[in-house]
Structure 1
């Protein structure tokens, strides 16, 4: 494993390594950036570490054979990913308008990632390589579509993605262990159908697996789709989860139990691969790739999130159990930055899906797995007593990073759960103090999403009193430090259960309680693999199966958004004869 080389993207690079053919060719909807933040790079480096010859094709031309044939046919398998972001989310806004820019494409113009990229790339391979080696899907686009799923962009329930793409296998979730097992199995001539974390199509059911509602049942009965999703959601923990079997037409989608989570030493090993932390030269001629500015000098401390916001897919892709890297390995990464020529002393981010979940977990969960039947670590009402929130390791980690010679500033740009800060009576205040004094610049972003109790229930977010308490703490610390730093808020309009009256209430709260006017809010996007998408499609509360309001009219969705960002809100309400307290 050469420390100064990208994985090859051309025949010339293969020849420099003395390779006539590759074992694996990986195709991605992103430009090839060799970074621990890019899934295709991580998979490539993992396969390289077990002795396989791996090449990468980023954003291939789908209208010719030039790119897909660039590295030749692999010996073992093709790996296909839509990229770091679901291609439909990447290409369209929540109101289905085409996005003109793409942060993962050279030059920033959105002209390289096709809609349903995973499907398109698989068809591209089939078009030019008949009877080829297995095609294996991976990445978030495929992972969230592994069973029957609601697709917002076509407004219908679609079959599992393996049926649409006609690929051979899929690795779901983060897939680090599964890709090792797959590579070794295919190299040894074995059968991948026995690998944990793999999905495949079978002519016969696997009777010892959980038999979930068929695709046809889900099409004819939305309550059956809710039943399917609940079983799907509850079987993502490797400690206890069972395999799933879903009938689709005359065949079956088989989902093997999930792969085991990585241990700390395995997390450290993957983070320490010789990533070049740059865009491959093949793509540089087409311009800068914007996302590199954010990830080049960022540190990922952990995987997973147990926040379980209903609109977020992290729970079913990364899992609800935190897996951390060691402090020593993280500090070493910061030290490695200081040896790079273009490092200016600024670390862009130290965090993960939720920055302040590093360094602690529920001991019961680690032994028995995550709770099911909608028993969560945290929801709109409370934090589970078994979850002992403890920011002490995180505080020490950030302090140690600050003390690395050559590091001038280490920001925490990842999301922070403010309810965990207020819940940690022993260390929460000190954690926020460290953040205020050292790890934010001018503003801190938090994500209440809404403040109405009914809407927060459907979102799975904490109540507004927690936000009020946190803001008081934040303002106090800023005053003590003599800094004028602000809070900015992520807000969502038109989430299932949200009506215009709720947005008026949110606007009143931001005006009178938060003393600010939101400059931005986002319209809810129903993403596959989330409870909120289930609500949107079925118009039911998936936990009670009672009917709920769902706004589906595009203009009314935009109106909900405009209510909360309207700078002349009070004037308009008064002129319309409405009381601000109504």
Structure 2
């Protein structure tokens, strides 16, 4: 494919002029590098707007320290559309223990520092500074998860809606294709941005003297920002109400007092149908980064040969943000559209023969919907499959199986992997699907996410009981044997989830030992804004039952849970030993087959402890990963002990 910049949407004033435009209609400002691929939200939204006749430009990763980049690109005729990028910036920048990461997968060369923390308000303010009066609409995952008052893990406090910090005119939440087209059309028709407050999928702040606009449905007031800031019970009630008002078919309009102003949150957008999904993904994406980049974009390298077949998730896991952003209703593309995209990938001379993923938020919810639309319209369940699978849910894997077969039959395609997570309780309903998966779509290892072993903790997560994993593991092993393949599951577990104590992690460690699992990568719980599990972490209250829940917050306790999951690592011996002794589980220390650790520390553990003791005397000026250690200078301004 030619690297002619004209194949991409313009990113500079010169590229705008080369198209013969005097000005773009909409400028997308994004914290990601510009990759014209349907897995990147800015590419999707901008191509959708372009397909409706609008002139669209993109300002990727501008220097937020001044408005120069905004002024250089020029004034948009209709509005700015601002997003932090495909990922929440704080999760992108920091580990679960708040250490700064050393790379950014959405930046050229994986470099860090090309966007600030929480870039949405910073970008929005530069839009205002560069061209006062131009409407500013914020959206994307970062703004969506901060559309109401929320707990911010990185500052350990409750923050107001991101609308307040950004001073934007509108916040578009969820998957915003229909919303951004409606906004552009109505602004182009001469309507003021305040007239757009009747749109679904938007939030806005009323002025102190403004009255609440009329609304055809019901309106429900959430506890105020002041109340949820000072009262954990109020925060829990807010979380419960908010999550019960996310079904687009019956959600009420929500309001929340922010000081003397009122935040208004309209119901979510209605799910889109198959034809609309196809129209979005059939657009002429180049599937490549803009030629302005000399270095690869790691996120693009990872997903360039993947195909998204659906969006949404009805799992309702309490630690996951997908439902809050994409919705609970599964929205699927047609087989024609999906297979056409696979053919496009296969025709690329650079294609190596492997489709890296055929999936979405999950790998096996394609075309699964409620079989009774009239019931779906009034349903208030937060999960269609927890605590049990709803009898009205269509759970057939037949469309998925046919799709998998069709994809691997395309000339040039050697392998089609399923890299998206498999919902094991659904897969357990269909042996034919497990057989198809094991026979044709696993490259030696299949990633699954049982998340924990304790049924009590799994219930808090809204995940199926541990026996579902054991059942699936057996089915997958037997299917692999029938296929004559040596294949293994790679299970993912979470440490330090609310409700998970040391005893629960010891139970998990014993399970891992018994089954021979040695997880090299461990997920530590990260309290993302607006998740139910985040509410539990912050308040110590389960908002769905209002019952108290013990929560691990101290770094040392979090490290203990992580170490128990990796009990086999020599460096963890001392931490695991202390945890077992404190828990009264000396029976797991020794040389017996069931023991987690030996009675005496291995040499590697002693060496690691010595290194740790030495490093603990050093002082660091910045967060780990941003500056090298410069030695022991306790009197230096800004110094702090690790």
Asked if TM exceeds 0.5, the reply is: yes
Tell me the CA shift for residue 521 of structure 1: 1.3
The residue number in structure 1 matching 2:607 is none
Structure-1 residue corresponding to 2:555:
554
1-structure distance, mates of 2:369, 2:464: 19
TM-score, scaled to structure 1? 0.95
Structure 1 residues 296-307: aligned runs within 5 Å: 296-307=304-315
- Deviation of 1:573 after TM superposition, in Å, equals 5.9
1:442 maps to which of 437, 441, 444? 444
Partner in structure 1 of residue 248 of structure 2? 238
- Cα deviation digits, residues 471-500 of structure 1 (max 9, x gap): 111111112222111110111000100111
Q: For residues 161 and 102 of structure 1, what CA distance do their matches in structure 2 show? A: 23
Match of 1:195?
199
How far did 1:109 drift?
Answer: 1.7
Is 2:383 the counterpart of 1:376? Answer: yes
Q: How does 1:166-315 map to 2 (within 5 A)?
A: 166-190=167-191, 191-203=195-207, 204-206=211-213, 208-282=218-292, 284-285=293-294, 287-315=295-323
Identify the match of residue 63 of structure 2 among 61, 64, 70: 61
Q: C-alpha displacement at 1:370, in angstroms?
A: 6.7
Deviation for aligned residue 1:567 = 0.7
For 1:257 and 1:484, locate their aligned partners in 2 and report how far apart those are by CA, in whole Å.
49
CA contact (8 A) 1:320 1:370 kept: no
Quote how far apart the aligned CAs of 1:382 are.
Answer: 2.1
Q: Secondary structure at the match of 1:75?
A: coil
Give deviations 1:512-552, integer Å, cap 9, x for gaps.
1x222222211100001210011011111112212110111
Q: 2:417 aligns with which of 402, 406, 411?
A: 411
Q: Conserved in 1, the CA contact under 8 Å of 2:222 and 2:256?
A: yes
Specify the SS of the correspondent of 1:385.
coil
User: Any stretches of 5+ residues in structure 2 without a counterpart?
Assistant: 589-593, 596-642
Alpha-carbon separation, structure 2, partners of 1:464 and 1:226: 28
- In structure 1, the partner of 2:92 is 90
Is 1:500 aligned to residue 519 of structure 2?
no
1:396 aligns with 2:402: yes
How far apart are the structure 2 equivalents of 1:113 and 1:11?
Answer: 21
SS of residue paired to 1:199: strand
Determine helix, strand or coil for the equivalent of 1:27: strand
List runs of 5+ in structure 1 lacking aligned partners: none
Comparing 343-352 with 268-277, greater Cα deviation is found at: 343-352
- In structure 2, distance between residues paired with 1:264 and 1:397: 15
Secondary structure (helix, strand or coil) at the match of 1:35 reads: coil
> Corresponding residue for 2:162?
161
In the alignment of these two chains, the number of paired residues is 571
Deviation sequence 1:380-434 (CA, Å, 0-9, x none)? x422222231101100110011111111111111111111111x2xxx2111111
- Does the CA contact (< 8 Å) of 1:206 and 1:254 recur in 2? no
Contact 1:523 1:558 in 2 (8 A): no
Shift of 1:236: 2.0
Find runs of 4+ consecutive structure 1 residues off by over 4 angstroms: 568-577
Q: Distance in 1 between matches of 2:299 and 2:443?
A: 20
Match of 1:29 in 2: 31
2:618 is matched with none
SS in 2 for 1:312: coil
Instruction: Output the aligned Cα RMSD.
Output: 2.0
User: 2: CA distance between counterparts of 1:366 and 1:528?
Assistant: 32
- In the alignment, the residues of structure 1 paired with residue 569 and residue 113 of structure 2 have an alpha-carbon distance, to the nearest angstrom, of 38
- The alpha carbon displacement at 1:25 in A equals 0.5
Aligned residue number for residue 387 of structure 1? 393
Summarize deviations over 1:249-296 as a string: whole Å, max 9, x none: 0111111122121110000000011111011112x12x1111111221
State the shift of 1:34 in Å.
Answer: 0.6
Structure 2 vs 1, CA of residues 434 and 120 (structure 1 numbering), >3 Å: closer, same or farther? Answer: same
Q: Is the 8 A contact 1:496 1:535 kept in 2?
A: yes
Equivalent residues of 1:205, 1:245 under 8 A apart: no
Residue aligning to 1:119 = 121
**Separation in structure 1 between the aligned mates of residue 464 and residue 505 of structure 2, nearest angstrom:** 17
